[in-house]
Amino acid sequence: MLRRYTVTFFGLLLSVAASHTLGLSLGSAIAESSVNQPLSLRIEILELGEIRADDISIQMASTEDFIRLGVDPLEVLSSVSFLTQETSDGVYILLTSSEIIREPYLSFVLETRWPRGRLLSEYRVSLDLPVYSGADQVDNRIQQPLTNILDSPESINEAGSILAESEAEQTNLSGQDVIETNDGSTLIRIARQIRPDETVTLQQTMIAIQSLNPEAFAGGNINRLLIGQVLRVPTKDEISAFDAESAFAEVSRQNQAMVGVVPNLARGRGDSGGNSATGRLSVIATDSDVIDSSSATALSAVQENTDLDRRIAVLENELSVRQEESDRARISRESLEFRLADLEAQIEAAQELIRLQDIRLAQMKELLSLAEAAAEAAAAEQAAQEARRISDTQSLRPPLGILEGLANNSITLLGSLGLLVLFLVWVMLRRNRPGMMEDSDVLEPLVEFQADQAKVSEETAVVSQASVDSESDDAQSGFLPIPRILFFLILIKQKSTVIQKK
């Protein structure tokens, strides 16, 4: 039965997306495998929004990203493959490896890509370790995988793995001074329970427990906790006395020492005695933990199968890489198609706007043409009316007489006035000469002058109306109107000339 283990998630999220990126994120990792098993992790994808699961590509980050985040890129991580799984509970990413994970602590960086964003997530996963109750139990735990190796070549990579671990009911042991180990106890579980707070690490707690209870660990290894031991619980000060980095390094060293038991399976001794004839492997639990092998043929088969499994793992990794590249190309293509559709929509909108502007421009041109035609028609009508008015005015005006023509000419008028003055002077001189002229000679011209004046009055009545029009025209043409007294003076001058001739 698959077991779930606690995972520490360090939530480092580095977003490298564009300005309108959705808030996609990854949840905690759930471990479904243990040490000396192929990796099996499940990570939930959160806040998908409108992003489809098929548009998401998750893979191990590049070596540069590992180094930039201070994470060691382990070689075993190259065999990890990714699979998207959609369930009723949500969307998950399954991480599986073709190689056995021998490290109880894994640190890695995942790179998540979708059409409009990129996300880097750092994870640190801790896997539970098996528990040992003594030398006899060590023998049984190592022998069972060896038997499976000989019977089933597919289990070669699990040689020497320590998998037997029972599920135990965990209780909160914090606050107790001592803890008694049982069949389901592991050091990392105990460390999680008694760790006072987050200021100290699990590794510090584990090393503190080991330092207070060295007799509870077979061979002085934290992975070989004995059953039935009463462990003293360290205080926070005792835990804090160990440096976090030193504690982490010590835990890693002891894990490596425990993993070194498996390669020892390949070392055998020639003096194995009766066990060589049976073709079976036996384990002798001594203080030096030496494990003998008596079958060279089995070791050769193990080596051959190991090489085959390694080649299969390489091929599977290449296939996974090709699949990821194909998914990446598909996502890129869909992104380009989306952008192309967006550009086409923008072009259509621009074309529609241009069409509307053309229609509006044509309407404005039509209105302008109508306005120009109306203005031309109004100007023509006004010119025609002006021509008709001038024609009517000219038809009503009588022909100009001699006197009216004389009145229109200012030079002639001045000359006439001069002549009138001369005439008056001459008359006055004439009167002053005695005997020059008889009374009858004077009266006779006066009588004739009165008769002529009566005729002139009749002519004056005829042209009186025309003289009014002429005065207005003279005012417009720049000439002053002629007073009627001057008109009569001119008539008197003409009559005087006639009298003199007579």
pLDDT confidence bin for 430, thresholds 50/70/90: confident
61: alpha, beta or left, given left = phi > 0 and alpha = psi -120 to 50?
beta
pLDDT at position 481 over 90: no
pLDDT at position 69 over 90: no
CA angle 314, 319, 321 (to 5 degrees): 95
pLDDT confidence bin for 136, thresholds 50/70/90: very low
Tell me where in the chain the CATH 2.60.40 domain(s) lie. 8-127
CA angle 170, 158, 9 (to 5 degrees): 45
Q: Which helix (H) or strand (E) holds 46?
A: strand 37-46
pLDDT confidence bin for 368, thresholds 50/70/90: very high
With CA atoms as reference, report the closest residue to 37 among 157, 142, 186, 153: 157
Q: What is the pLDDT of residue 289?
A: 37
pLDDT at position 255 over 50: yes
Q: With pLDDT > 70 as the criterion, what percentage of the chain qualifies?
A: 57
pLDDT at position 30 over 90: no
Q: Which residue has the higher pLDDT, 386 or 166?
A: 386
Residue position matching structure tokens 């490290």: 103
**Whole-angstrom distance, CA of residue 320 vs CA of residue 337:** 25
Q: Which helix (H) or strand (E) holds 407?
A: helix 402-408
pLDDT at position 272 over 80: no
3-state secondary structure of 1: coil
CATH of domain 8-127: 2.60.40
Q: Which residue has the higher pLDDT, 72 or 133?
A: 72
**Whole-angstrom distance, CA of residue 383 vs CA of residue 119:** 83
| Residues 79, 317 contacting (CB under 8 angstroms) | yes
